[in-house]
């Protein structure tokens, strides 16, 4: 089972993917999280990627593809995985097609939402520096200001969640990523879901889709 979550930054891909990964018992692979981990550890991938991430631009395909291939080679992916933040352009989608295009059980879910919702979600998002859990200052505030409910870690605002970079990321999404909706629609693989519904509703729709084997 391979589940690809498409949608603009702030559509809730990461939040949904974390829950779905538990329910479907497959790993959640977020290229954004993998890149941030590399930045944190100051690896050669991270040093290179940081320059692009800070500006809200896409990291070059070669770097992301190599990093993802390493991750997909780990044993926990044997029954499948959930991809969040990949593919981000047609070239990346073609790479996935080469690897899995003909496989059964590939689902592409497009989380549809509007720009004002996305801006509100991203600008209020806070992330745990220790466990990576997401909070929101209005929609999902932590019990104690600035502290993660789950592990007690310190919450921070991602540098690319600041207003100017959000705008840039949305531009990049429109320019590079939104064409994937068409790409997968033509392959008859796309399933659209409104990401403005409550998270529980979105999750149950995705689970129904995966379990029914529909595409």
Query: Of the candidates 19, 27, 37, 52, which one interacts with ligand AMP according to CB under 6 A?
Result: 52
CB of 17: closest distance to ligand AMP in angstroms? 10
Q: Is 88 in the site for ligand AMP (CB under 6 A)?
A: yes
Out of 28, 107, 126, 169, point to the residue binding ligand AMP (CB under 6 A): 169
Among 21, 64, 96, 148, binds ligand AMP (CB under 6 A): 64
**Residue 214 known to be catalytic:** no
Length of the chain: 215
Catalytic residue among 36, 121, 125, 126: 125
125 flagged as catalytic: yes
Tell me if 9 contacts ligand AMP by CB under 6 A.
Answer: yes
12 near ligand AMP, judged by CB under 6 A: no
User: Which residues are part of the catalytic machinery?
Assistant: 13, 88, 125, 158, 169
């Amino acid at each position: 089972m391979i589940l690809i979550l498409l949608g603009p930054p702030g559509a809730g891909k990461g939040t949904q993917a974390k829950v779905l990964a538990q329910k479907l018992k497959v790993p959640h692979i977020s290229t954004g999280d993998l890149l941030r981990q590399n930045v944190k550890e100051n690896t050669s991938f991270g040093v290179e990627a940081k320059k692009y991430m800070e500006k809200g631009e896409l990291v070059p395909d070669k770097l992301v593809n190599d990093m993802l291939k390493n991750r997909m080679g780990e044993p926990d992916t044997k029954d499948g995985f959930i991809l969040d933040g990949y593919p981000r352009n047609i070239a990346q989608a073609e790479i996935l097609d080469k690897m899995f295009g003909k496989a059964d059980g590939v689902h592409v879910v497009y989380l549809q939402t509007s720009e004002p919702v996305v801006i509100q979600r991203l600008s209020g998002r806070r992330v745990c520096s220790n466990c990576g859990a997401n909070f929101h200052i209005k929609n999902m505030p932590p019990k104690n200001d600035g502290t993660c409910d789950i592990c007690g870690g310190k919450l921070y605002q991602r540098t690319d969640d600041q207003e100017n970079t959000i705008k840039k990321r949305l531009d990049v999404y429109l320019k590079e990523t939104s064409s994937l909706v068409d790409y997968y629609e033509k392959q008859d693989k796309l399933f659209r879901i409104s990401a403005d519904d409550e998270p529980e509703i979105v999750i149950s729709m995705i689970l129904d889709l995966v379990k029914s084997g529909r595409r």
